[in-house]
Structure formats: C-alpha cells, structure tokens
Chains A and B, each alone.
Chain A
C-alpha cells in the first residue's frame, strides 16, 4: 500500500482528500502546514508521495518543497493549489516539485495523476 503525505491548511480539504485517497487504497498522513509536514519528515516519515497546498501559514508549499527535497531526493511532490501565478509555478519547479495542479481537480483526474507519478499504485 502506497503512502501519501497530504499538506493543506484547510481542514475540509484534508478530510475530503484523505477520504478520497483512502477509498482508493492509499495510506494517508496529513499535516496542516509546511512546518508541520517538515517536522514529520524530519521525524523519519518516508511517504511515497507528497501532495501539498502552496499558500499556507508558517511555511508555505514552496518552502516545504525546497526543504523536503533535501531529505527525500526522489519522492514525487505534487502541488495542489488555487495559486495561478506562473511565477509561483516556476518557483515550485525550480525547487523540485514534480507537478502542479490547480484546484479544482476532479477526484478521478487526481487519481490518474497520482498513478502517473506513482507507478504500480
């Protein structure tokens, strides 16, 4: 069973995405912002995939991608955000993001992307 770390400051997003992914057969951990997610990673958590929001308090998604990439070199990281600025997208790419998805992304569509970056999932 593949393991996904979900990072978003919206409790509703965490709850709905976690439910969706668990129904689809994934093990899911959640964090309410980049700082909390980074603490989990530094504590030894090694997910197969990280899905993160971009605009979050304390440590935003770009910062999380940058720091997570230092710990997990090959783990795919997807940004799932309402952010539409091309500059932010480019910044995420430079810092090691694997993909960029703009909300709203349909459930089936999101699963398709996850299976693309997680072969065998």
Chain B
C-alpha cells in the first residue's frame, strides 16, 4: 500500500528534474552512455550509476518536453513514476546478486568437477602405467620361464638320450663281461680236472714207486721215473690250484668293475638331475617374487579404482549445482517478467494511457521473496536491497563462498 511519506524523496528529486532543459537531459544521456561504455570496457558495469543517470535523462527530457503544467496536474502520478524508477536500482541490485550467486555457484561446482576429473585422469594414468609395468614384467617372466623350460626340456632330453646310450652301452658291456666271466668260470672245472688228474697221477706215481721197490734192482730205473712223475704231479696240482685262484680273482675283479660302472652311470644322471633341480629352484624363487608383486599390484589397483570411483561419485553429486542454478534462474526470469510488466504499466502511465500500477515497485520487490526457496535467494535479496543478511546456516566453514551462500537455515542434513 502506498503511503504519502514514501513519495517525499521522489517529490524532492522531481523538483530538481523540473528545472532541467532538453540540453541538460541530452548531456545526462551522454554521461550514462559513457559510464556504460567504460563499464563494458572494464568488464564491470556500474549498473546503479548508469540506471540513475539514464533515468534522470529520460525523466528530465520528458518533463522538458511536456512542460510544468502536465506535472502540476499529475504530481502524484509523476511521483509514483519517480519513486519506482529510484527503486529500480534496488531491483537491479537484487537481480545482480541473484545472477552473481548463480555465476558463483556454477564456477564453484565446475571448478570442483574439474579438479575431480583431473584427479580421475591422474589416477587412470597411474593405473595404466602400473598395468603396463605389470604386463612388461609378466612378459619378461614368461620369456624367462619359456627359456628355462626350453633349457630344462633340452637337459631332460639329453639326460634321456644319455641314459639310453649308457644303458645300451652298459648292457653290451655287461653282456660281454658276463660272457668273459662265464668263459673264465668255465675254466674252473678244467683246473679241478687237472687237479684230479694230478692226484691220480700222484697215486699212480706212489704205486709205481711201491712196485719199483718191490721189483728190487730191476725196478731202480722205473723208481726214478715214478719219482719224477710224482714231482710233476705235485707241480701240476700246484699249477691247478694257482689257476683256480686266478680265475676266482678275475671273476671278483669283473664283479667289482661292473658295480663301479653302474655307480658311475648313476653319478652322471645325478649331475644332470641336479642341474634341472637348480633351474626349477630358480623358477620357484622367481614365482615366489611374483606372487607378492601381483598382490601388491592388485591392492594398488583396488585403491586406485576406489579413488576414481569416489571422485566420479562426488562429481555426479556436484551436478546438483545445476538444479540450484535452474531454480535461481527461474526466479530471476520470473522477477524480470514482473519487472517488465510493471514498467509497461509505468510507460502507459507516463503516456497518460493508464492509471498507476496497483503497487509500487518496492512492494513488488517484497513479493519476490514469496517465491524464494533457497537461503541463497534470501541472502541475495537482502544484499541487493541493502538489508541485513539472514544467518548463513551451517554450511561448512571452509566451503566456497557460493556454497555458503547456497546454505540454509537449520541443519543441512537432519535425520528425524
């Protein structure tokens, strides 16, 4: 509801404006244009100054054109126009704050998302590097294992060939030796036979000596022969004994040599097997190194992926800024629409085509707050109209300014 005191200041301003000429109005318009141009050049337009000067120029020009008579007739209506135009500065201030909050909210969210995406990229690059290293290490290990496996295969094949050759040679040797040993052993009965013959000959020699003694002198010559035969028989028996012992020793030597050959063959196999066992031990040690490496790699991959996932989750959470900005912009759009409608009525009033609007712009501004849902909107409105800002709510102390602005009255998160 309009009150007489609301219009005092506009009336004083109006008194000054009524003394303006068209030339003064033109000069004011030029000043407004200069302010606007400088503001655009400096990327910081002083909207309130531009608006004030422009309004002065327009109003002064209108008064100079229509003369003081019209003003006298419609002093209240003109005062309403002046009051609304002066309030326009606050309206622009509110909208400027709302737009500022929107820009700030966007910047904060986008910066946050960019930082998260940067971390995601860095983590992904690290994971890729680890995977490349793991692949290279696996390839090296595979190549080494293949090389060792090849060498083991060659060693085993050589061992098998060696074994076959040795077994064949041993079999041949043993067969030959057994044949020789058998031949040697077959001589033993012959030596025994020689011994028997020698004993028989000895008995015959004894009998011959007895018969020679019985024959007396005629048997003397025969006695000499018998004695000689007996001596030869003794020597033959001794030779047979020595032959038997020699055969026995030869057979024992053959057995010893055969056992030694078998031992040497086993020793050769043991050397080959020892080499293979050493290779397998090296392979086992390598695998023992690989298992913890893979475990560590898996752990790093898990933690890296967890960080990436958390960043993606928080980035998606940051997208809530779009909903906040949408509502801020919807409110700005509604405010601009109501402002446009209001001034359409003011222009009609100036042209004498319509009565004053049902409410002052100041009242219209107050009604904008009815549609606010966010604390940020209320803060922006208070800042724009020069009123004290509402309490900032419980936004985190280290939160960016835009998020603090987007805070609210009461706890941000409350479980009932």
Which residues of A line the B interface, CB within 8 A?
Answer: 8, 10, 12-13, 15-17, 19-20, 23-24, 55, 81-86, 89, 93, 97-111, 113, 116-117
Contacts and interface: CB of A to CB of B under 8 A. Distances in A.
Contacts of A10: 322-323, 326
Contacts of A89: 410, 414
Interface stretch (B222-230, B234-242, B276-284, B313-321): B313-321
24 contacts: A8-B323, A16-B316, A17-B316, A17-B317, A20-B312, A23-B312, A23-B316, A55-B327, A81-B373, A82-B373, A84-B373, A84-B375, A84-B378, A100-B416, A101-B414, A102-B412, A102-B413, A103-B406, A104-B403, A105-B320, A106-B318, A108-B310, A108-B313, A111-B313
B393 interface: yes
Contacts of A102: 407-408, 412-413
A83 B416 contact: no
Contacts of A12: 319, 322-323, 326
Contacts of A24: 313
A23 B313 contact: yes
Which 8 pairs, one residue from A and one from B, show the smallest C-beta to C-beta distance? Answer: A107-B317, A84-B408, A16-B319, A107-B313, A20-B316, A107-B314, A104-B320, A99-B415
Contacts of B374: 82-84
B141 interface: no
Contact of A117 (B309, B310, B373, B415): B415
Nearest to A54: B373
A12 B408 CA distance: 22
Contacts of B324: 82, 103-104
Contacts of B109: 104
A108 B403 contact: no
Given A99-B414, A100-B413, 18 more contacts: A12-B322, A12-B326, A13-B320, A13-B322, A16-B316, A17-B317, A23-B309, A23-B313, A84-B378, A84-B408, A93-B416, A98-B416, A100-B414, A100-B416, A103-B323, A103-B324, A104-B109, A108-B310
Nearest to A89: B410
Binding site of B, secondary structure by majority: helix, strand, loop or mixed? helix
B173 interface: no
Contacts of B409: 84-86
A13 B320 CA distance: 6
Given A103-B320, A104-B324, A20 B410 contact: no
B398 to A, nearest CB: 13
Contacts of A107: 310, 313-318
Nearest to A84: B408
